[in-house]
Structure 1
Amino acid sequence: MGYRFRTDLKWSDVTPKGVFLNRRQLMAGAAAFGLARPAMAKIAAQPSAYSTDEVPNTLEDITSYNNYYEFGTGKEDPAANAGSLTVKPWTVKIDGMVDNPGDYGLEDILANVTLEERIYRFRCVEAWSMVVPWIGFQLSDLLARAGIRAGAKYVAFETLMRPEEMPGQAYPILDWPYREGLRLDEAMHPLTILATGLYGEELPNQNGAPIRLVVPWKYGFKSIKSIVRITLTDKQPPTSWNMQNPREYGFYSNVNPEVDHPRWSQASERPLGAGIFGGRVPTRKFNGYDEVAGLYAGQDLAVDF
C-alpha cells in the first residue's frame, strides 16, 4: 500500500509532541552533537502536499546517526567531525546541456527559484528507515531555471571536494569527489527535492549542508550531500557506489524488496529509533511511493537495480 498524502497539515502536525522546541532549547541541544552553527536561521515553510502522515523521527535521531563518508565511516562520525565544514558562501555550478550555465549562489537560488519552500515529510531508507521533515524545493524548479536543452537525458551531481575540512576524503574509500546521477524523468518528478533545512532550521552539516538531494523512493546513498555541481548530459553519468562496486550497487538503486543485495536480504528494514528490540519491518517497494512506478514501466528492475 502506498502513502496517504495530506494537504491540511500544520507545522505542529509535522513535529511530534515533545520534540517541538523553542529556538533556545533547540540550539542548546544541537551543540551537544555538532549541529550548531553561527547565524542559523529559522525557516518559514508550509507542509507539502507530498508529505506522508507518518510520525517523523526525533531531531536527535536524524542528526546523530548518519552516513557521510567524507567525515568518517562510523554512523556517529559525521556529527562529531562535520563542524569543520564551511558552508557560507556556497555556489552550485550548473553546466552541460542547459541554456543558462553558470555559478549559482545558494542565496540567489533560494530567492529566485522557489516561490516558497515546503516541508517535505519523507520516509528515507539507508541501512535503516526514518521519517524526516525536510525543508526544500523541487529539483525541477532549479532545472527549469537553468533551461534544459533538447537531448538531455540525465542529471549528474557532484559533492564538494575539500579534504582540509572533510577528513574522510584523505582515505581512498571512494573515488572522490562523491558523484551521483538520476535519469531526467526521475529528476523532474515532484518527489525529487533539493533540501536546505530540516525541523525548521538550516540543514545541519552532518545531514549535507547547505544543499542536498532527497529522492525518497531510492536508497539513501542516491541522495548526494553538499552539492557543488549539477550537470545535464545525454549519457548515463558515473556514480560513486556503482563505480566502487557495480555488483552490489546499481545506477537506479530503487528500494526493491524483491531484489536482494548480494550480501543480505532487502525484504525487511530496521526503523531508526525503534531500539535493539524494536525488530524489523517489511520493506515497501519504492519505499511506499507507488506513484513513481510508472517511471519504470517496461524495465526489469532486477536487472536495472
Structure 2
Amino acid sequence: MEFKFKQANSIDYKSVTPEYLFNERRRFLKLGVGGIVGVLSVDSLLADIARELKYKSMSKDEMLKLNGEVLHLTSEELATSYNNFYEFGYSKSDPKKKGDSLKVSPWEISIEGEIKNPMKIELENLISKVNLVERVYRFRCVEAWSMVVPWIGFELRELIKMVEPTKKAKYIQFTTLYDPEQFPMQGGFFGLNIGRNASFLDFPYKECLRLDEAMHPLTLLAVGMYKKRLLPQNGAPIRLVVPWKYGYKMIKSINKIEFLEEQPISTWEAENPKEYGFYGNVDPEVSHPRWSQSSERVIGQRGRIPTLYLNGYAKDVEHLYAGLDRTKLY
C-alpha cells in the first residue's frame, strides 16, 4: 500500500519539484542484471529517467512560496562553496578547497545492529534497489543561516524496510567514514597526523535519529543535488537530509548505519551538551545559549527572515514530538 504523506504547509512540492518527479516519485529504478548496475552512475540514472519522462529542468530563478514569503533556490555555486564539514577544516571554504582528498568510489556501507538482515553493500548496488526522487527542501544551520536546496536521494524508510529492524530497534546511528588520509582534520589540528581524535571533535562524526523520525517520508538519504552527484564538500557520496532539523544533524559521507535499542550520544551532543541536544529541531522560540534562533540569514540574499518552527514542516512532523518539552528538543 502506498503511503500518501501530507503536503508540507511551507512548500508546495508540485510547484518547486519537476512535475514528473512529483507524479512519479514512487517509481522504481530497475536497471536489469549483471554488470550494468556497477557501471551506471547516479548521473546516468537521472539522465535515463529524464529521457523517458521528457524531463524539463528547473530554471535557476525558480522560486518557492513559503508561508507567504518568496524564496529563491540557492545558487549551486553558493551551496557548494559555503559549507560546514569540519573533517576538512574550520573555514566555510575549506571543504571545497580540500575535498579532492576524498575518494568516493567504490563506497561500502555497513548496516548492522538490531536488524534481521545485516549487510555490507556497495552504494551503487544500494541505489539500484531504491526509488530516486528529487526534493526541494529548506536547509537551516544552527548558526542561523539558511539555504534552499534541490536534493536527489531516496527515502530512508526504504532502507529501513530492507533490513527489517527487530522490536528492540528504537534508534538509528550514522557514522562518517574515518580515514585521516582523506579527512585531514581527523588526524588532528591543522591536518597534522598526531593521533586519532586529536582535534576538537571526537571523530568519526556520529549522528542519530529516533526510528519514527527516520521512517518519516521527508527523511532522505541524499546522493545528489542540483541534478548531479554530491560533491565532497556536500557530503559525498551519501548523506542524511532531515529538513526540520538543524544542519549538524545531517551527517555526511556515511559509511556505517547502526540500529540500536538505547539512545546513543551524537558527536556535538558529546562535545557540548549545553548547546547541542539529541533532537536538534529548528525552533525560533528556543535560543542557542549564545545567540537567538528567531531569525536567519538566507545565503545569497540581503537581510534576515523569521525562522519557522520546525523549519516550516510543522504540519508534517510536529506530531512526532507531542507532549515533549520543546526546550529539551534543541
Q: TM-score range by the shorter chain?
A: 0.7 to 0.9
1:303 paired with 2:324, answer no
Q: How far off is 1:238 after superposition?
A: 1.4
Relative distance call for 1:260 and 1:199 in structure 2 (3 A) is same
TM-score (norm: length of structure 1): 0.85
Consecutive unaligned residues of structure 2, counting only runs of 5 or more, are 1-7, 22-40, 56-62, 66-70, 189-198
Relative distance call for 1:190 and 1:10 in structure 2 (3 A) is closer
Name the CA distance, whole Å, in 2 between partners of 1:300 and 1:43. Answer: 44
1:224 to 251, 260, 272: 251
Name the CA distance, whole Å, in 1 between partners of 2:282 and 2:290. Answer: 16
Name the CA distance, whole Å, in 1 between partners of 2:88 and 2:114. Answer: 32
1:197 to 216, 221, 224: 224
1:110 to 116, 127, 146: 127
Name the CA distance, whole Å, in 2 between partners of 1:259 and 1:10. Answer: 31
Q: Is the 8 A contact 1:61 1:273 kept in 2?
A: yes
- 1:18-66 deviations in whole A, cap 9, x for unaligned? xxxxxxxxxxxxxxxxxxxxx883552689xxx9655311110110000
Which residue type is aligned with residue 77 of structure 1? D
- 1:164-222 deviations in whole A, cap 9, x for unaligned? 11111122120010000000100000110000001111111110000000000000000
Relative distance call for 1:65 and 1:4 in structure 2 (3 A) is closer
Q: How far off is 1:7 after superposition?
A: 3.0
- 1:88-117 deviations in whole A, cap 9, x for unaligned? 0001100000110021110111011x1x31
Q: Is the 8 A contact 2:17 2:134 kept in 1?
A: no
Which residue type is aligned with residue 41 of structure 1? D
Q: Is the 8 A contact 1:180 1:222 kept in 2?
A: yes
Q: Secondary structure at the match of 1:132?
A: strand
Q: Is the 8 A contact 2:157 2:217 kept in 1?
A: yes
2:305 is aligned to 281
TM-score (norm: length of structure 2): 0.79
Q: Provide the alpha-carbon RMSD of the alignment.
A: 2.2
> Sequence identity of aligned pairs in percent?
47
Q: Who wins on radius of gyration, i.e. which is larger?
A: 2
2:134 is aligned to 119
Q: How far off is 1:6 after superposition?
A: 2.7
Q: Is the 8 A contact 1:260 1:267 kept in 2?
A: yes
2:147 to 121, 130, 140: 130
Q: How many residues align?
A: 273
Q: How far off is 1:280 after superposition?
A: 1.2
Q: How far off is 1:11 after superposition?
A: 3.9
